[in-house]
Amino acid sequence: MTGSEIIVEVLAEQGVETIFGYSGGAILPTYDAVFQYNEKHNNAMPLIVPANEQGAGFMAQVILEPLANLELLW
C-alpha cells in the first residue's frame, strides 16, 4: 500500500464525503489513489479540483456550512 492509498483510506475511514484540492505535481499520486478508490466504491468520495486556489477555498467554505464531513487536500 502506498502513502497516497493510506491517505485516501484514512479519509474514507473518517467519513470524508467530498475532497477539494488544487492540482499540482506533488499531489497527483494522491489524486490517482482517490480515482482508484472511487472506481471501487462507486464514486463514494468525489474529488473537486477548481481552476485556482481561491476557487477551492471559496467552494469549500460555501459547502462547509451545511456539511460536517469536509476535508481540504492542498
Torsion of CA 50, 64, 7, 40, to 10 degrees: -80
Q: What is the DSSP letter of 26?
A: G
pLDDT band at 9 (very low <50, low <70, confident <90, very high): very high
Domain spans, the chain: 3-73
Looking at residue 61, its amino acid is Q
pLDDT band at 71 (very low <50, low <70, confident <90, very high): low
pLDDT at 22 over 90: no
Q: Dump pLDDT digits (tens) for 23-64.
A: 888 999 999 999 999 999 998 999 988 888 888 778 877 777
Architecture of domain 3-73: 3-Layer(aba) Sandwich (3.40)
Distances in whole angstroms, Cα of residue 13 to Cα of each of 6, 17, 45, 53, 69:
10, 10, 11, 26, 11
